[in-house]
Chains A and B, each alone.
Chain A
């Protein structure tokens, strides 16, 4: 005790305040004591009653998710019965839970892993195994007596048809994470729930997931289960009906796999409504395996199998963009049909040389043959005449550079560059060469296959942009329709009659005599445009955008094969097979439904 004497005044001031604080602490502890007395002595009987009545536990019974159908009513995603082992630790008294897990391992002849210990403390029913086979289920049932507290229940699980073809369209399920729960707690998600990832499973999760039910189980004072009090029946989720044609989906997938690299995407739209007929991205993955260890291999895959190339892949449109350059030039009267440019196989601009794909050159060439033969030299000069502003304006009129609004998550918007953009991003001025490149769909343009499908379907239907949609209606488990999707126009492009006529004629020419010859089908005339997009990652990407039949277009398709080389050789055959399948389909429907009428 030194400062007490050295600095009397200061110490006394301290002491006074210090005493006040000691009193404050004493008061706080007094409050705690009074509360304790209140709870335990005064209200003790009330709470003892409460604790004795509180003998019910809830075991969650998962609701079956809604089904997903294609446009013909064929099942794309259905449910199958799975078996789940549940364990009630409180039926065991204190110890032995570990021993029981070991017995379970012995009966199943496999290790369920450390995951089953998770959630042990919570004292609620623990999910021991999510994926028992039928065989294992029977073995467990036989050994019931050795395994007190364990019960096996049915639980529906997902069964994806054509899993790899539909993977990106439909998505997959896995368990909600704690991060998800922070945002979704208010929407009724709880830990252990499944949640849709990607595709329709994610987009329509709220519709599909239904409402979990459960059993209330009564336990006695020692925690032994005495009886089931009540069962809340789980409510199945609503069913989702799509515009997808499974046959087209399958053909597209198989053909893409047969393509030179097996990587690519196909989007097929109905140009009359915007309904999505097929949407495939390869390589695919198997959503049925989303709860297994192998699924993480997909995340590491060099080919990015989880990546939806159809809506998220960004590519240069290549020569398919000539459709837009063509539209701008004719609609703005910037070109005379008879006017020729001389293609020598290359085009010199300043100190740079731009090549045509045909090294020998096309010779003197006019607009229509230039599009049919996809002459780059012609379009470089056409582009320079139009200027970057006009090219950009028409690209945006064709809805490039903005999302289409399809009912799938995480769609990419792509990019239509302009002078301002380049100055900001690259910190350099726009060059004439940039304009020339843009006119043939190279340079800074980025589009998704879905956007190109929307572009070509607008050409097919005379300029209307319908919002692409996959789900046409939602219905309840019993069948009554809950909601339907109407086809909605999100905009239109007004071009002169002459422009449409010339453009369509030229696109028909591409398939009849030009680069798209591989798609010429008897009885089913098709029009389209190939593209061969250069890219820094290897071989050119092969494009083909097309529609058919020409007289009354019912199907518009965009195909891309990554690093597939020439559009005419890699992409065109895929579209051809799809049109053929579609055509066969209409024939067979006609024979089934309309035949009696036609023949009588």
Chain B
């Protein structure tokens, strides 16, 4: 047995330990992506240009992926402060010397191609936050660890928001919270953060949504009252007061039922709700009306059918009209006639769904899940906690990218402008995603080594 092991060449060992299921999923997704991009760029007259660029990005990505697979990820663990500083420096550099594409100062122009550094920087962030949680694993229950993690997150998110690139910050929140959760941070803190964030963002968006539908407000005067609470201290305090009263009554009731709930819990929740409502004012002021519209219109695109709702309506029609078998490659009317916006980048899944139909699109979702599931498996089997956390972070990133993008295209999520990894046209996203896979393979291949 031992002899047998020694006889194997390095390449054979590599082949034995590599995650072939992951590679298969990768092949499927990239292949599907290339075909769909070709179709989506046909009417531009020169789809081959897009193919060449995308293939070049795949080549760079795969080269980096192979290198990272061979590189021992544990070295990253020893260089955390440097990695974090480098990531911040890169993002400050792009803010100072980067170029602006569609209103976002987040690109480097390097001769023939341009690059969006945030797509790689977010990998560095995962390496750092995972390393931080690993190094403090005995104290993860402490509030200070939770707060320090949020501070690390804040550094990146603030710099990205200054570009401003709202969409790219979105994957940071689930990655951080999920990593904190699996690392053992008190779920109460995480839940509190989610509730607070939800309230802070939810209030301005929902009021915008209701304001867009005056009929609804006339039909339901109580809604009118709720909406008026924004900017009316009296109404707001009445509503907050009744929520607090309800929470305490519920707590009292539960204790009567001999379910042990601390009195601190309703107090804490009240505090969180008040803090959330207060920070909603900040969100309200920092988002312009049209941005809020764009974020909320997915709930009912018809209220702004020719404006911010247009993209969602068109992409739902595109997907839905594909039916079970699709309209056939290169024959989607929605995509070929130009009804779909951004069809080779953010809305690529709509083209795929229209031309490939339910059978193919469902298969793509399954392969996506396969990729995420393999990443979670790698997290389970990693030889050290650091590897487990990095793998979990990457799995979360891929999962949420897919959910946010495909959800947006199908009208389940707000339109935020995130690419679909491996499928969307775009070199930076492709390179960043492939390097992420490189990290996963590096963790996987070393699962037995000591």
A residues in contact (CB < 8 Å) with B:
1-3, 7, 10, 13-15, 17-18, 20-22, 25-26, 28-29, 31-33, 35-37, 39-41, 43-48, 50-52, 54, 89-90, 94-98, 120-124, 178, 182, 185-186, 219, 221, 223
Of B182, B395, B448, B450, the most chain A CB neighbours within 10 A belong to: B182
With A21-B182, A22-B373, A178-B103 already in contact, the answer to whether A36 and B338 are too (CB < 8 A) is no
B320–A43 touching, CB < 8 Å: yes
User: Counting chain A CB atoms within 10 Å of each CB, which of B103, B399, B412, B447 scores highest?
Assistant: B399
How far in angstroms is the closest Cβ of chain B from A201? 26
Instruction: Enumerate 8 A-B pairs (CB-CB under 8 Å) in ascending A order.
Output: A29-B399, A32-B407, A33-B362, A35-B410, A40-B323, A44-B324, A47-B323, A182-B103
Interface centre among A10, A21, A90, A223 (most CB of B within 10 A): A21
Q: Which of B42, B337, B361 contacts A36 (CB 8 A)?
A: B361
From A1, A48, A185, A221, give the contact of B290 (CB < 8 A): A185
Contact partners of A36 in chain B: CB under 8 A: 319, 353, 358, 361-362, 365, 410
Q: How far is the CA of A178 from the CA of B103 in the complex (A)?
A: 8
What's the minimum C-beta distance from A176 to chain B, rounded to whole angstroms? 14
CB of B280 within 8 Å of the partner chain: no
Contact of A29 among B137, B383, B403 (CB under 8 A): B403
B119 partner residues in chain A, CB cutoff 8 A: none
* For the complex of A and B, 9 pairs with smallest distance between CB atoms: A123-B338, A47-B320, A44-B323, A51-B321, A40-B358, A29-B369, A97-B45, A48-B321, A47-B321
* Cβ of A96 to closest chain B Cβ, rounded Å: 7
Q: How far is the CB of B384 from chain A (nearest CB, A)?
A: 5
> What is the bound-complex CA distance between A7 and B384, given in angstroms?
10
Q: Give the residues in chain B near A7, CB-CB below 8 Å.
A: 385
Query: B317 contacts the other chain (Cβ, under 8 Å)?
Result: yes
The reply to whether A18 and B392 form a contact with Cβ atoms under 8 Å apart is yes
Q: Chain B's nearest CB lies how many Å from the CB of A412?
A: 30
Which of these, B288, B317, B406, B407, contacts A182 with CB under 8 Å?
B288
- B178 at the binding interface (Cβ < 8 Å): yes
Complex formed: what's the CA distance from A122 to B137 in Å?
A: 52
> Does B317 contact A28, Cβ atoms closer than 8 Å?
no
Residue with the greatest number of chain A CB neighbours at <10 A, chosen from B45, B395, B406, B450: B45
Q: Are B410 and A39 in contact (CB under 8 A)?
A: yes
Q: B388 to chain A: which residues have CB within 8 Å?
A: 3, 14, 18
Contact B137 A26 (CB under 8 A): no
B171 within 8 A of A: no
Distance from B75 Cβ to chain A, minimum over Cβ atoms (Å): 17
Chain B nearest Cβ from A592, distance in angstroms: 54
Q: Which B residues are CB-close (under 8 A) to A121? A: 44, 338
| Known contacts A13-B184, A25-B395, A98-B46; is-contact A51 B333 (Cβ 8 Å) | yes
Least Cβ–Cβ distance between B373 and chain A, in angstroms: 7
Q: 1/0 per position for B21-47, CB-CB distance to A under 8 A?
A: 000000000000000000000111110
A96 to B42, CA, bound (A): 10
Does B189 sit within 8 A of A, measured CB to CB?
A: no
A390 to B369 alpha-carbon distance, docked (Å): 82
**Residue B381 lies at the interface, judged by CB distance under 8 Å to chain A:** yes
Q: Could you tell me if A37 and B385 are in contact, using CB atoms closer than 8 angstroms?
A: no
Q: How many residues of B contact A (CB 8 A)?
A: 66
The CA of A380 and the CA of B450, in the complex, are separated in Å by 94
Instruction: Report the Cα distance A31→B412, complex, angstroms.
Output: 10
Check A35–B412 contact: CB distance below 8 A.
yes
A458 to B196, CA, bound (A): 62
B410 near A89: Cβ-Cβ < 8 Å: no
Nearest CB of B to A142, in Å: 25
Chain B residues near A (Cβ < 8 Å): 42-46, 102-103, 137, 178, 181-184, 288-290, 316-324, 330, 333-334, 336-339, 341, 353, 357-358, 361-362, 365-366, 368-369, 372-373, 376, 379-385, 388, 392, 395-396, 399, 402-403, 406-407, 410, 412, 447-448, 450
**A47 adjacent to B317 (CB under 8 Å):** yes
For residue A191, give the distance in angstroms from its CB to the closest CB of chain B.
12
Instruction: A28 to B403: give the CA distance in the assembly, Å.
Output: 7
Complex Cα distance A54/B338, Å? 11
Task: State A22–B333 Cα separation when bound (angstroms).
Answer: 38
Known: A39-B319, A48-B320. A18 touches B365 (CB 8 A): no
Chain A contacts for B336, CB-based, 8 A: 94, 223
Hey, which chain B residues are within 8 Å of A223, CB to CB? 333, 336-337
Tell me the smallest distance from the CB of A219 to a CB of chain B, in Å. Answer: 7
CA A15 – CA B181 in complex, angstroms?
11
Residues of B within 8 A of A15 (CB): 380
Min Cβ gap B208→A in Å is 13
Q: Within 8 Å CB of A18, what residues of B?
A: 182, 376, 379-380, 388, 392
Q: Is the CB of A25 within 8 A of B321?
A: no
Q: A3-B385, A18-B379, A25-B395 are in contact. Are A48 and B323 (CB under 8 A)?
A: yes
Query: Is B324 a contact partner of A96 (Cβ separation < 8 A)?
Result: no
Query: With A90-B43, A121-B44 as given contacts, are A41 and B372 in contact (CB-CB < 8 Å)?
Result: no
A contact residues around B366 at 8 Å (CB): 33
**Given that A14-B388, A50-B321 are known contacts, is A122 also in contact with B338, CB under 8 Å in the complex?**
yes
Nearest CB to that of A223 among chain B residues? B337
B262 to chain A, nearest CB (A): 22
Query: Measured between C-beta atoms, what is the minimum distance from B398 to chain A in Å?
Result: 9
Given the complex of chains A and B, what is the CA–CA distance between A259 and B441 in angstroms? 80
Report yes or no: B338 in contact with A14, Cβ–Cβ below 8 A: no
Closest A residue by C-beta to B307: A185
One of B102, B184, B337, B447 near A1 (C-beta < 8 A): B447
Check if A3 sits within 8 Å of B384, measured CB to CB. Answer: yes
**B324, B336, B396, most chain A CB atoms within 10 A:** B336
A50 and B322: CB pair below 8 A?
no
Contact A95 B45 (CB under 8 A): yes
Whether B339 and A54, one on each chain, are in contact in the complex, defined by CB atoms closer than 8 angstroms, is: yes
Chain B, Cβ-Cβ closest to A6: B384
A52 to B448, CA, bound (A): 57
- Contacts of A33 on B, CB cut-off 8 Å? 362, 365-366
Query: How far, in Å, is A44 (CB) from chain B's closest CB?
Result: 4
Which of A17, A44, A47, A185 sits near B182, CB closer than 8 Å?
Answer: A17
Please judge, given known A-B contacts A1-B447, A35-B412, whether A40 and B353 are in contact too, CB under 8 Å.
yes
Q: Are A98 and B45 in contact (CB under 8 A)?
A: yes
Known: A18-B380, A35-B412, A97-B45. A41 touches B324 (CB 8 A): yes
Tell me how far the C-beta of B106 lies from the nearest C-beta in chain A, rounded to whole angstroms.
16
Taking a contact as CB atoms under 8 Å apart, the answer to whether A25 and B319 are in contact is no
The closest CB in chain B to the CB of A30 belongs to: B369
> Could you tell me if B376 and A25 are in contact, using CB atoms closer than 8 angstroms?
yes
Residue from B337, B362, B384, B410 whose CB has the most chain A CB atoms within 10 Å: B337
Which one of A2, A41, A123, A185 lies within 8 Å of B337 (CB-CB)?
A123
Chain A residues lying within 8 Å of B395, measured Cβ to Cβ, are 25
A31 — nearest CB in chain B belongs to which residue? Answer: B412
Cβ A90 vs Cβ B338 within 8 A: yes
Contact A40-B372, Cβ < 8 Å, known A15-B380, A123-B338, A186-B290: no
Q: Is B376 within 8 A of A22, CB to CB?
A: yes
Once bound together, how far apart are the Cα atoms of A550 and B354, in whole Å? Answer: 82
Most B CB within 10 A of own CB, among A28, A45, A97: A28
Provide the bound-state CA to CA distance between A7 and B382, in Å.
13
What residues of A have a CB within 8 angstroms of the CB of B373 in the complex?
22, 25-26
CB-CB nearest in chain B for A46: B320
* Cα A124 to Cα B340 with chains together (Å): 11
Residues of B within 8 A of A52 (CB): 321, 333
Cross-chain contact A39 with B337 (CB below 8 angstroms): no
Alpha-carbon distance A13/B383, docked complex (angstroms): 16
Q: Evaluate whether A40 and B45 lie within 8 angstroms (CB atoms) in the complex, with A21-B182, A123-B337 already known.
A: no
Contact A29 B322 (CB under 8 A): no
Is A2 within 8 A of B384, CB to CB?
yes
> Is A40 touching B357 in the complex (CB atoms < 8 A)?
yes
- Contacting residues, chain B, for A97 (C-beta < 8 A): 43-45
Cα A25 to Cα B450 with chains together (Å): 31
Decide: A25 and B339 in contact? CB cutoff 8 A: no
8 extra A-B contacts, CB within 8 A, seeds A51-B320, A94-B330:
A1-B383, A2-B383, A25-B396, A36-B365, A47-B323, A51-B317, A89-B338, A94-B43
